[in-house]
Structures are given as C-alpha cells and as structure tokens.
Amino acid sequence: MILDSKIPEGPLAEKWTKHKFNVKLVNPANKRKYDVIVVGTGLAGASAAASLAELGYNVKAFCFQDSPRRAHSIAAQGGINAAKNYQNDGDSVYRLFYDTVKGGDYRAREANVYRLAEVSVKIIDQCVAQGVPFAREYGGLLANRSFGGAQVSRTFYARGQTGQQLLLGAYSALSRQVANGKVKLYPRTEMMDVVTVDGKARGIITRNLITGAIESHSAHAVLLCTGGYGNVFFLSTNAMGSNVTAAWRAHKKGALMANPCFTQIHPTCIPVSGDHQSKLTLMSESLRNDGRVWVPATQETAEKLRKGQIKAADIKEEDRDYFLERKYPSFGNLVPRDVASRNAKYVCDEGRGVNETGEAVFLDFRDAIKRDGKDIISAKYGNLFDMYQQITGENPYEMPMMIYPAVHYTMGGLWVDYNLMTNVPGLYALGEANFSDHGANRLGASALMQGLADGYFVIPYTIGDYLAQNPAGKIGTDHPEFQKAEKDVKERIKKLLSIKGEKTIDHFHKRLGKIMWDYCGMARTEEGLKKAKAMIKELKAEFWSNVNVLGDNEELNQSLEKAHRVADFIELGELMVDDALNRNESCGGHFREEYQTPEGEALRDDENFAYVAAWKYLGEGQEEELVKEPLIFENVKLTQRSYK
C-alpha cells in the first residue's frame, strides 16, 4: 500500500496559495445539492460546520454533549498561537513553522506545518471579528505571552479561559447557521460506525443517548472532529467523555491510524491525590511565564518537606534547584512540554519530589509577585489561581503550586493527506482527531490553532475538490451497507449487555490506564512494552467475558456508553504499544530509555525512523500492518534538538 500525501509541488511558501487555485470548485448553486456530516462540535467541528454551511452545503452536526458549548475545547486555558509579530520581537510565519517542526522533534510534514503557520494570522482576525475578548495591551493591540518551545511572544489569550471564549465564537457562527436552516444539530447523539459504499464514506450510524435509538444518516462526505484519545490512560486532563470510538470505528473500516504512540504528557497538572479520582486537572502552561519550577537541592531537604517538618518558604534560595533554568538556560522554564515533563520525572525519581507521594515539583510565583505585584499576577492568571485553590485548598499567592506531569494531548490520530482526507475517500479528520501537524510533541497553544485552521480555513477549500469530482446524487439509508452497519452495531450492543459479568467497566478502564501509564507513558522500554502487550491481550479477553454492563439499550445508559468506549480503548492501547515497540528511537513524547543522549535527552534515528507510522486494520485478532509515509525535509535541517 502506497500513501499519497498529495503535497503540492513548488516552494514551501507558495504551496497552499497554488493549491487553493488548483483545487476544483463546486459552484454556489450546486453546493446546495451536497450533504456533509460533521461529527464533533468542538473548535474543529463547530468551525467546519459553520464554514461549510456558510458556503451553502447542507450540514448535519453531531455531538454527544447536550450542547456544542460543552465540547472539551472549552477546557483549553492558556492561549492560541499566531505569527502576528505584534511584539516586534522577531516572529514570522517561518519562525512559527520552524518552532513547530523542531518542537515536534522533526516528525511532522513540512507542508502541513507551514500551512498551519501561514493561516494562523487569519484565525486571530476571524475570532476578533466574532467578538472573542482577547487580552489587550495599553495601546489597544492584542496582548501576547510566551509558551514553551519559543523565544518570542506569539500566544494570544483571554486570561485562562481562551478555549471557552474561542468555542463561544465558533458556537455563535454555528448557531447562526442552525437558525438559517443550513445546519441540523444532533446533540446527545454518539457515532457508532462509519458507512462506506463502493469504498467511499457515505454516512454514519448513531445511537441516541437518551432513547437508545439506532439511526442511519447519509451524506456525500463525513468529517470526524472528535478530539484525541488521552483517556486510554484513564487518568488524563481530558473530559471524562473524551474517547476514541469515532476514530477507531473509522480505523476498522479501513482508515489508517498514524503514530498512535505519540502522546503528550503535560508538565503542569495538579498531582494525583488518590484512587478516587476520575480525571486530572491541567494548570495552564502560561503559568510558566512567571512561575519558576524548582525542587529542593537535596533528598534530605525534600524528605523533611514531605514529612511536614519544614515548609517551602523555609528553604533558602541556595538550597533550591531551579532545574529547568539550570539545564536549559536559553529557554528556562519555557522548554517544550516533553522536555519539562521528563525533567520533572527525573528529579522526583531522585527522591526530590515535594508532596507526600514524592511525585510533584513546585511552580513558584514568589519572585513574580515581588517584581510585578499581586494585582498584575491576578489580572493574568486569577481564575487559574482560584481553580487551584478550590481543588487543593492552598493559596498559590502565598505558597508555591505543586504540579506533576499528566497525560494531556495525543499527536497521533487518523492518517490524513494534505487535504485532511483519510485514505478512505470522502472521510476527513480535523483537529486532534488527525495526526498531521505536531509530530512527536505539540507545542503549547497550538491545539486551538490547528482546530480552527482546519475548520475555518482548510476544509472549506479541500472538501470542494473532492465533492466536485463526485455526483450529487444521494444514497438512501435503506442501502444494504447502511442496513449491514446498523445490524453490526445492534449486535455489538446486544453482546455487551448479555455478558453479565462480575467486574465494572471502570475496573477494566483503570487497569488499562495503569498498564499504559506504567509501560507506555513518560518512559518506555522494549521489555516493558512486550509485557504490556501481553497484559492488554489478557485484559481484553477478560473484558469480553466478565464485564458487567448495567441497564438496557432503550434508555439513557451511561454504563453502555462507557462500555463501548473502553472496549475501543483496550484495542487502541494494544496498537499504541505495537507502535512504540516498532519505533526504536526516542523522539518528542516517545521516550524509549534505550535510546537517549548522555544528557538524558531524546535520541532520534533519522536514518531509519523519519517516517509516519500508519497502521492498517486487518481483522479481529490479527496483527496490524505497518504502512510508512517517508518524511522529507527540504527546508529545515535535521539536528539534535537543543533548548540549552
């Protein structure tokens, strides 16, 4: 199988402009004849649905929440990147492109990343026009702050609520199209399968989460905007409803899953407090602009701290180790997330962790408050400080925050070409659901950028190229392929409800999460991954023989919802382990302990692994087939990443 990424010819800076001219167009009158399904209504989905409806297409938008406003995009805190160079500090489209490729440890496509940087400037204009209340400088220009992996200030923000404000902007655009009758919204509806006819995606099967009704919906193209799969680890910063089911169903219908082992561990999360937790809370990376990360310089001091014999304020300046500033003087506390996370793990593994479990470091605002005053810090981060205090009971204005890495974002996802189409014609993946822009590590504030770039500025062009080459004739949901897919969904539901085992769904999810965190988390080894694979196979067999799914289908049944998602997570977990085993190198968030520099940094093998690992599903119980897309670097030089 050969993958065609459809990257346009020509110089990097001209590819997108030329491509937009060369793609085929659907004239306005004909757009009314085409139906498009959008699954997911976060930033990527809401912006895509609104943009396509504005163009004249008939759009059906599906979300399992009761409103698009509850999409997990709302949880993003710190900001959105764009190469506006308002600070006049040396930023440019090319620098944003370079920082993103380097930040992803040279495992992303140049062309896709450059396009992302190029359209970033338009995103800000679009969002301002929608009324998004970005922070402003005294002169009226939009304010910027820095994020990890960059030495310029290019992150636009609305205090610590950037995701919420951007989503409300996209939601307003979507609501306008709902009112116009161009978008039909299906809340509390979950996609259960993709339907293909003659090899092309032509619709989906859904379950109404209130009534349990199984329904078919046909269209000329299907867009999956369903986010990432971080909840495979059970504990993550994702909303509890975030899952992989839509993407995994597409994978089983032939769509390739690319780089699934590339998962991001975020360095600034509130540490785990006990077995009772169902999720973890992110503290924005923006806090690293003013907060200093440190631990005690010695294990003895750390032990006194953990036992409560001393407090953080008692530790003298010379007895503190600002380890990121010490190791990476050029970037300091603003190194990329994978680097910051690994170093936090290192110092905790040395016995210098600062909480009772020994798995936390300090994020300290003492110096920033002395320098700028409490009011300035509160204006920047007040809602984040309030959130931390509500969760932990500690006042971060008076004592340092305690943070530790946690699963956050997934760089892997469905394989897509330059047009954001999977290898299944007519099936697209946008935002975090695809793999395309971040390589092996995502820079902070780039998720919102990608979601809105894909939805507002990429898919409106590229979907027309596909639709213009396909007839506008509709396929009824009485087509045999729809009937077969509906039957398969109903049989799966019946099977899950009939097991009547002894263990809860959360029991299996927690066990899977522990396996993944221990063996396919921040650090990985060949021995551990092989052990994990065997454990997941056992877990899968036990799940399908001993899970207890309560209730019936014909009702609101969250137990059944979870069961579907956990079953898919188990299968995905095995593929993630296979992908990590295959990649005999370290890069970005994929850290194989066998492959590291003497300083403990990720050691890439560009000669053998400069490719996208795309996996093809071959059937139940069979090992998946690896398909490689070589990564060609013509504009950046492959070098050992350094932030020192």
The distance of Cα 330 from the centroid of its chain, to the nearest Å, equals 27
Rounded distance, CA 253 to CA 420, Å?
17
Spatial strand order in the sheet of 257-258: 413-414, 257-258, 611-616, 625-630
Within its chain, how far is the Cα of 192 from the centroid?
21
Tokens of 237: 């910063």
DSSP 614-635: EEE--STTSPPEEEEEE---SS
| SS3 label, residue 572 | helix
DSSP string spanning 336-403?
A: -HHHHHHHHHHHIIIII--STTS--EEEE-HHHHHHH-HHHHHHHHHHHHHHHHHHHS--TTTS-EEE
Active site residue 107: no
Torsion sign, CA atoms 321, 322, 324, 330: negative
Q: Of 223, 272, 262, 263, which Cα lies nearest the Cα of 416?
A: 223
Integer CA distances (angstroms), 446 to 2, 285, 520, 583, 618, in order: 30, 12, 24, 25, 34
Tell me how far apart the alpha carbons of residues 381 and 391 are, in angstroms, rounded to a whole number: 16
* CA 335/CA 325 separation, integer angstroms: 9
State which H helix or E strand residue 15 sits in: helix 15-22
Which is the catalytic residue, given 337, 352, 442, 524? Answer: 337
Distance (Å, rounded) from C-alpha 181 to C-alpha 212?
26
Q: With the CA atoms of 315, 319, 323 and 329 taken in that order, what torsion angle do they form, in degrees rounded to the nearest 10?
A: 110
CA distance 497 to 402: 43
Phi, psi of 524 (to 5 degrees): -135, 145
The C-alpha angle 432, 490, 557, rounded to 5 degrees, equals 70
Of 45, 76, 237, the closest CA to residue 158 belongs to 76
Candidates 331, 289, 275; CA nearest to 78 is 289
The H or E element spanning position 407 is strand 401-410
Separation of alpha carbons 335 and 213, rounded Å: 49
d(CA 344, CA 362): 10
Q: Give CA–CA dist 150/101, Å, rounded.
A: 12
Q: How far, CA to CA in Å, does 566 sit from each of 42, 212, 357, 426? A: 22, 18, 28, 27
Largest CA distance in the chain: 75
CB 226 within 8 A of CB 413: no
- Give the catalytic positions in this structure: 337
